[in-house]
């Protein structure tokens, strides 16, 4: 029996030792961006509305929200999902906890439990939004002073642009209403309602923001606004149902839109969702397309840069750039540039438009008539047979930046040179400073271990060569560039030094583990010695007794 107890005791000690080793093991996760903050809460919604928490991504790169959690005062973290694009805000709904109308707080953390931001309040009233006071973009405030602001009509609002009340197809799915922000700054939509004629559909409450000089479509399936095919109105209402503007129409023709052109609403047979409106045209008013001789066929022509969101007026500054990546001059006569279905009219390139090897061709909007959306846009070029040779798509734009194809050259080290390894070339698309009519910038690619970081620059060691690079400005942090991290970096040469333009964490550094004495093993050995001593002592006493 004693031997059985001894064996069970040894098993318990070994299990305890294994658990101790497991608990002391370092489980390192990828570095998570800390450029996310809470900007507003809506804890006490009006009837028919929902609670929400508003988050802001303060960096230019998109964030995967599955790396973050929200929790209220109950401290039960809720994992989010989805993606938040750079420098954008999102109202999060559907969380499992309920915000108190009295005192409560919401805390943002990483999935690893790293605190990022907290917004607290002592009370709230119906229809009030709780925001931080005096915190600039990117600030993280733990004890924010709170403003309780009534949900009121904004001082500026979007214009009516276009509506399709009688589409070709199902009215229940294909109808839409379009608004436009004519200002050079974004508009807050909270407090506004979109409506049809009085007594018609229920008003649709707007939320979020609308970027500068951007169109916003509301499909009937989302808004519930059913437009009549006889007589109806389109209205924008304020918080107290005050009328901000109204546009009425009669007898819509199937497939025609009610559109504002040069300040006047009229029917148009040129439907342009998400783009500048066009007036009604007839065969007599439309001149025949010019007849060109076909140019050359080539697979080396591609779209390499687009500029959809210039500072100032989009109409005057937008452009598209083509590049000849081949070794022969190409005549682009009758080639087509288009911005996809439902966009602007395709642009037919004029006769004798030639592009030499390595040359770029700049085509401004004033020439092509192609109005590029600031979000969810596709640009493509096709040869005169209609075959698409190149296509690029972007989800959102950055004002004053162009979307460019960047050549990435993997940096060679000393060992690579000795082994005569070829240079690896790849390409990425990124928002960069525009280079109209010039070759796009080229970046270098580095991969290695961080050996030094001084807050501004860091050193990567690829196994043979140390490289010193400038960090990514405001997006840099000590955690990301800690020693031992393995990074993949794209960098551009500026003023004789490589500046990181994109940095990706490949492998986190292993944290130093403090020495933990193997207490289980020590206890097991001590007990074993004691037990052996005990058996020897018993045998000794037995021999003495005999």
Q: What are phi and psi of 11, to 5 degrees?
A: -60, -40
pLDDT of residue 283: 57
Provide the b/e sequence for 248-282 (b: ≥16 CB within 10 Å): ebeebeeebbbbbbeeebeebebbbbbbbbbeeee
pLDDT of residue 239: 84
Residues 6 or more apart from 516 whose CB is under 8 A from it?
A: 20, 24
| CA 487 to chain CA centroid, nearest Å | 21
Cβ proximity of 415 and 390 under 8 Å: no
Closest CA to 237 of 126, 152, 149, 128: 152
Distance CA 531, CA 524 (A): 10
**What crossing angle do the helices spanning 2-24 and 519-545 adopt, rounded to 10°?**
160
Length of the chain equals 546
Cβ proximity of 36 and 50 under 8 Å: no
pTM of the full structure: 0.43
pLDDT of residue 315: 67
Looking at beta carbons, which pairs linking 101-105 to residues 24 or more positions away fall under 8 Å? Answer: 101/43, 101/44, 103/73, 104/43, 104/72, 104/73, 105/72, 105/73
User: Which H/E stretch holds residue 106?
Assistant: strand 104-110
Distance CA 156, CA 517 (A): 68
pLDDT of residue 501: 80
CA–CA distances in Å: residue 227 to residues 93, 127, 189, 199, 327: 29, 29, 22, 12, 56
Distance CA 244, CA 238 (A): 7
Q: SS3 letters for 454-519?
A: CCCEEEEECCCCEEEEECCHHHCCCCCCCCCCEEEEEEEEECCEEEEEEEEEEECCCCCCCCCCCH
Distance CA 345, CA 270 (A): 9
Q: What are phi and psi of 536, to 5 degrees?
A: -65, -40
pLDDT of residue 546: 59
Provide the b/e sequence for 356-379 (b: ≥16 CB within 10 Å): eeeebbebebeebebbbbbbebeb
pLDDT of residue 137: 33
Q: Which two tokens stand for residue 92?
A: 């999060």
Distance CA 137, CA 254 (A): 47
User: Which H/E stretch holds residue 232?
Assistant: strand 231-237
Distance CA 355, CA 206 (A): 48
Residues 6 or more apart from 375 whose CB is under 8 A from it?
A: 211, 214, 394, 395, 396, 397
pLDDT of residue 139: 31
Cβ proximity of 377 and 339 under 8 Å: yes
Helix (H, G, I), strand (E, B) or coil at 19: helix
Q: What are phi and psi of 21, to 5 degrees?
A: -65, -40
10-residue averages of pLDDT along the chain (546 residues) = 52 46 38 84 80 89 89 86 84 85 89 88 83 47 41 84 90 90 89 88 87 90 90 91 93 92 89 88 58 88 93 78 94 92 86 92 88 90 93 91 86 46 68 87 85 86 84 62 85 80 80 58 74 72 66
**Given CA atoms 87, 91, 92, 98 in this order, what sign does their dihedral have?**
positive
Q: Would you list the DSSP string of 78-94?
A: EE--SEE-TT-EEEE--
Cβ proximity of 83 and 45 under 8 Å: no
Distance CA 349, CA 295 (A): 10
pLDDT of residue 6: 52
Q: Where are the alpha helices (DSSP H) in 255-343?
A: 314-317
Closest CA to 243 of 233, 252, 253, 251: 233
pLDDT of residue 331: 95
Closest CA to 61 of 43, 84, 44, 78: 84
């Amino acid at each position: 029996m004693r031997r059985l107890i001894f064996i069970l005791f040894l098993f318990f000690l070994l299990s305890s030792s294994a658990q101790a080793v497991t608990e002391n093991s370092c489980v390192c996760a990828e570095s998570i961006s800390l450029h996310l903050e809470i900007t507003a809460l809506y804890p006490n919604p009006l009837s028919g509305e929902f609670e929400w928490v508003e988050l802001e991504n303060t960096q230019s790169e998109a964030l995967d929200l599955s790396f973050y959690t929200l929790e209220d005062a109950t401290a039960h973290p809720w994992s989010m999902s989805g993606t938040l694009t750079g420098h954008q805000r999102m109202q999060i709904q559907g969380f499992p906890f309920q915000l108190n109308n009295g005192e409560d707080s919401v805390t943002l953390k990483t999935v690893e439990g790293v605190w990022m931001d907290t917004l607290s309040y002592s009370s709230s009233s119906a229809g009030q939004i709780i925001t931080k006071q005096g915190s600039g973009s990117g600030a993280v405030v733990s004890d924010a002073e709170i403003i309780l602001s009534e949900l009121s009509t904004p001082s500026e609002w979007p214009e009516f642009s276009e509506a399709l009340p009688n589409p070709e197809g199902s009215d229940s799915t294909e109808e839409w209403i379009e608004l436009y922000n004519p200002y050079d700054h974004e508009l807050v939509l909270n407090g506004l309602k979109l409506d049809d004629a009085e007594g018609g559909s229920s008003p649709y409450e707007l939320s979020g923001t609308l970027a500068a000089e951007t169109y916003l479509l509301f499909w009937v399936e989302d808004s519930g606004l059913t437009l009549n095919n006889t007589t109806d109105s389109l209205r924008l209402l304020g918080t107290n149902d005050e009328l901000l503007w109204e546009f009425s129409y009669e007898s819509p023709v199937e497939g025609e839109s009610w559109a504002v052109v040069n300040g006047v609403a009229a029917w148009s047979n040129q439907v342009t969702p998400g783009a500048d409106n066009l007036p009604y045209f007839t065969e007599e008013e439309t001149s025949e397309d010019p007849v060109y001789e076909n140019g050359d066929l080539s697979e080396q022509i591609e779209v390499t840069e687009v500029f959809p969101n210039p500072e100032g007026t989009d109409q005057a500054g937008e452009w598209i750039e083509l590049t000849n990546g081949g070794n022969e001059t190409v005549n682009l006569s009758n080639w087509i540039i288009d911005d996809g279905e439902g966009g602007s009219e395709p642009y037919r390139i004029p006769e004798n438009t030639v592009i030499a090897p390595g040359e770029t061709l700049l085509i401004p909007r004033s020439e092509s008539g192609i109005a590029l959306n600031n979000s969810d846009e596709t640009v493509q070029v096709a040869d005169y047979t209609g075959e698409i040779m190149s296509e690029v798509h972007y989800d959102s734009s950055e004002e004053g930046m162009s979307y460019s194809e960047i050549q990435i050259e993997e940096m060679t080290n000393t060992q690579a040179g000795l082994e005569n390894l070829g240079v690896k070339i790849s390409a990425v698309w990124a928002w960069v400073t525009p280079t109209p009519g010039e070759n796009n910038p080229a970046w270098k690619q580095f991969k290695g271990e961080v050996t030094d970081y001084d807050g501004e620059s860091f050193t990567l060691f690829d196994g043979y060569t140390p490289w010193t690079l400038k960090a990514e400005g405001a997006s840099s942090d000590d955690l990301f560039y800690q020693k031992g991290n393995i990074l993949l970096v794209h960098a551009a040469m500026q003023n004789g030094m490589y500046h990181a333009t994109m940095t990706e964490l490949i492998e986190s550094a292993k944290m130093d583990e403090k020495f933990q004495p193997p207490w289980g093993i020590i206890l097991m050995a001590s007990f074993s010695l004691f037990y052996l001593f005990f058996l020897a002592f018993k045998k000794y006493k037995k021999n003495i007794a005999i």
